[in-house]
A and B are shown apart, each in its own frame.
Chain A
Amino acid sequence: MKVDPFTFEIIRHRLFRIIEESIITLKHVSGSSPTVDGNDLVVGLYRPDGSLMMGALGYLHVLPGAGQAVKHIIKEYSENPGIFEGDAFLMNDPYVGALHTPDMYVVTPIHYNGQLVAWSSNFVHLRDIGAINPGGFAPDSREIFHEGFCTPGLKVIERGIVKKDVWRTMMNMVRMPEIVALDLHSQIAANITARQRVIDLVAKYGAETVGEVSRQILDISEKLLRERLLEMPDGTWHARQYLDSHAGTFTVTLALTKKGDTLTYDFAGTSPQAPFGFNSTYWPVVGGCIAPLFPMLCFDMDWNEGLLRPVTVKAPEGSIVNPIRPAPVTIATLSGLEMADNVALEALSKMLLASGKYRQEATAVWLGAHLTITIYGYRNKGYMVSTTPENMGGSGGARTFKDGVDYGGQVINPVARIPNVESMETSVPIMYLFRRLIPDSGGPGKYRGGLTTEFAMTPHDSMNGSVNLVLYGRGQDFTQCEGLAGGYPGSNGAIYIARGAGIKKRLMDGGIPKDIKELSGTQTLTMWGAQQLGEDDFVNVWLMGGGGYGDPLERDPDLVKGDVESGTVSLRYATEIYGVVLDAKLNVRAEETKRRRDKMRKYRLAHAKKLSD
């Protein structure tokens, strides 16, 4: 079938706008801060066979798994219970395609005159899913059965009517059912918007024409990516990241091979699956591979299933990137999957550096690890649970031509945002002591990585004076924000709990502390497990700064001067790492800087060895 180019472009753009309008609907209905303020969501339209037709901004590593969710529902449920106009299904089984159980997909078929013409699917991270620990991330989980409500597909709406038995069963299994219900309502509303707009589109142009356009846009994306790959040399690029944890060290290794117009991501050598929820199932790992690929190499293409056709992902069965059910996966998005995101970005960046035309798209790692914690407690007898949102602010990795953006977000979610502290303070009974940038947290380099943030909070307005924490941090030893092309790594992450810190008295006496060193008490590095925070305690979380690019000794001394003036880099590291000597007025002393840098280079040569030594 031939579609004229004007009609083609109108329909193509309309499909994208339908997704945008669905997101607006979702955010207007949802009352959850991570969804509304943080953009922890994704919406996509799918062809009748379940292939991704048009994906929108959000967590991009969700998109392939969401397609699997649709395909799974078509395969398993077409006959029983059947797929009808006005239906909606829930799906959150990681062994089908979800990232982890709190990330719930709502999948809706779209019919026109009785004919299935498309699917709409979206996900949000529900505030709770009834796992062994509150809030969705469950450090105490040892198998998927500890991770709460989990369905490989459950019809929640049939022919436009909510199935009361299904709805009540799910609400009976989660904490804060009123907030979970609001999130699910927002997802259903978003799909209703998408459905109505697709129906309007099909009514105007016909199912055959819309179907043909959706088929062609997949072919076009595939063709464009293959052509782009052919512009670059072939090769194999490697990346490796470590997960340091209380349960030992786990490794994710990747070899990215570009051959002709194809890409193969091979995770051979990755550690066996972990006994804790660090594992990530296969489809999210496929998502982890394409999440950097879409914005870095496919920035001017439609993001759909056509872009997956040149890509092969090999993940060893029984490994941390492809575990065998019922292995726990609850922390996948903050560990195995996130490491897959990182190594995919690193290897892709190395490939781009050698690509000639596209080298400026390469970047060091942004926000290597989400150091998120869950907080729950009671305020006015009301149960409250939420996860900290600071990770959404991320940190920008340095690029080939510019510094990373301070607190610059994430590559894998180009629209991630950070809510105000007040949003968090209304969600759980806590008060922030501070949230601020960490000087020197960006990886040094010719271009430095963006700074990241740290924050501290204490119980406030809690019914019994305390709150509970669920901790599942990593990255205290191995900083996941590695540099690129000679750039140094950004800062590590850490969670400290301080007991008996005298906060209450300090606040009564003299206001908010500027530094945790001003407070008394004992501070302990505590990365894992359930903890209680008393009224005189606080928790302090550091995130990871972006990786640097290029040799720090090649950085323009005037840029270092600007860094020191802005407080981005300390005077100490200006000298020790960048070799820049500044006078008392922070002017560059050029001759001394040259001498110091020469001396630092001589030190390198004197202490470096051949690999065979």
Chain B
Amino acid sequence: MVYKISESLVIANVRGKLVYQCAKCGHSLGPADKSWKRRSLRLISPLSKAGYRRSTSGRFEMREYICPKCAIVFDVEVALPGDEPLYDLIDVATIPKDALK
């Protein structure tokens, strides 16, 4: 059983331990009490990657956080270079118990 937390991210019960996994390929992204983002890969591109009319100066960067195995994009940030990534956290103890049996 897995619990979906985003389009391509799940929390899975692997032998009694809760871990983040890629929803597409099952690649592990580390324990669920730490951010999955630290175990993903980050691809930095100019905003123009999302299309034309995205930025007039190119000061901002587009960060894609991808699965290290199948390369699906989990999350995208638009940020100034050097700004910290955004780390979300779920209190796994409050996930409905029957969801991860």
- A residues touching B (Cβ–Cβ < 8 Å)? 233-240, 242, 244, 249, 259, 350, 353-354, 356, 359, 400, 438, 440-441, 443-444, 446, 476-479, 482-483, 485-489, 491-492, 494, 525, 542, 549-554, 573, 577, 601-602, 604-605, 607-612
A301 to B39, CA, bound (A): 40
A180 to B59, CA, bound (A): 42
| B72:A486 contact, CB within 8 angstroms | yes
Given contacts A476-B55, A550-B8, contact A485 B66 (CB under 8 A): no
A400 to B72, CA, bound (A): 16
- Size band of the B side of the interface? 35 or more
Q: Nearest residue in A to B51 (C-beta to C-beta)? A: A440
A489 to B5, CA, bound (A): 21
Chain B residues with CB under 8 Å of A400's CB are 7
Given contacts A486-B74, A551-B72, contact A350 B53 (CB under 8 A): no
A249 to B57, CA, bound (A): 13
**Least Cβ distance of A347 to chain B in Å?**
9
**B41's contact among A234, A577, A610, by CB below 8 Å, is which?**
A610
**Least Cβ distance of B79 to chain A in Å?**
7
Given contacts A350-B6, A356-B3, A489-B78, contact A609 B41 (CB under 8 A): yes
| B56:A486 contact, CB within 8 angstroms | no
| A359:B89 contact, CB within 8 angstroms | no
**B88's contact among A259, A350, A441, A577, by CB below 8 Å, is which?**
A350
Given contacts A235-B88, A577-B50, contact A478 B78 (CB under 8 A): yes
| B89:A235 contact, CB within 8 angstroms | yes
| A577:B55 contact, CB within 8 angstroms | no
**Least Cβ distance of A394 to chain B in Å?**
17
B92 within 8 A of A: yes
| B59:A485 contact, CB within 8 angstroms | no
A sample of 22 inter-chain contacts (CB < 8 A) reads: A234-B90, A236-B88, A238-B86, A240-B79, A242-B60, A244-B57, A249-B80, A356-B99, A400-B7, A438-B53, A444-B50, A477-B55, A485-B6, A485-B8, A486-B72, A488-B76, A491-B53, A492-B55, A492-B56, A573-B51, A577-B49, A611-B42
A353 to B8, CA, bound (A): 10
- Count A/B pairs, Cβ under 8 Å: 166
**A489's contact among B38, B62, B89, by CB below 8 Å, is which?**
B62
Given contacts A577-B50, A604-B71, contact A239 B86 (CB under 8 A): yes
A395 to B51, CA, bound (A): 16
A350 to B56, CA, bound (A): 28
Given contacts A485-B7, A488-B49, A488-B76, contact A477 B60 (CB under 8 A): yes
Chain B residues with CB under 8 Å of A438's CB are 53
Chain A residues with CB under 8 Å of B55's CB are 476-479, 492
| A353:B7 contact, CB within 8 angstroms | yes
A367 to B66, CA, bound (A): 26
Chain A residues with CB under 8 Å of B64's CB are 486, 604, 608
A240 to B76, CA, bound (A): 12
| A485:B75 contact, CB within 8 angstroms | yes
| A440:B42 contact, CB within 8 angstroms | no
B14 within 8 A of A: no
Given contacts A494-B56, A542-B53, contact A601 B71 (CB under 8 A): yes
| B73:A610 contact, CB within 8 angstroms | no
Most chain A CB within 10 A, of B47, B51, B52, B94, is at B51
**Least Cβ distance of A194 to chain B in Å?**
43
A440 to B48, CA, bound (A): 12
Given contacts A609-B42, A611-B85, contact A491 B51 (CB under 8 A): yes
| B7:A488 contact, CB within 8 angstroms | no
**Least Cβ distance of B83 to chain A in Å?**
8
Q: Nearest residue in A to B83 (C-beta to C-beta)? A: A240
**Least Cβ distance of A346 to chain B in Å?**
10
Most chain A CB within 10 A, of B37, B42, B86, B99, is at B86
A602 to B55, CA, bound (A): 26
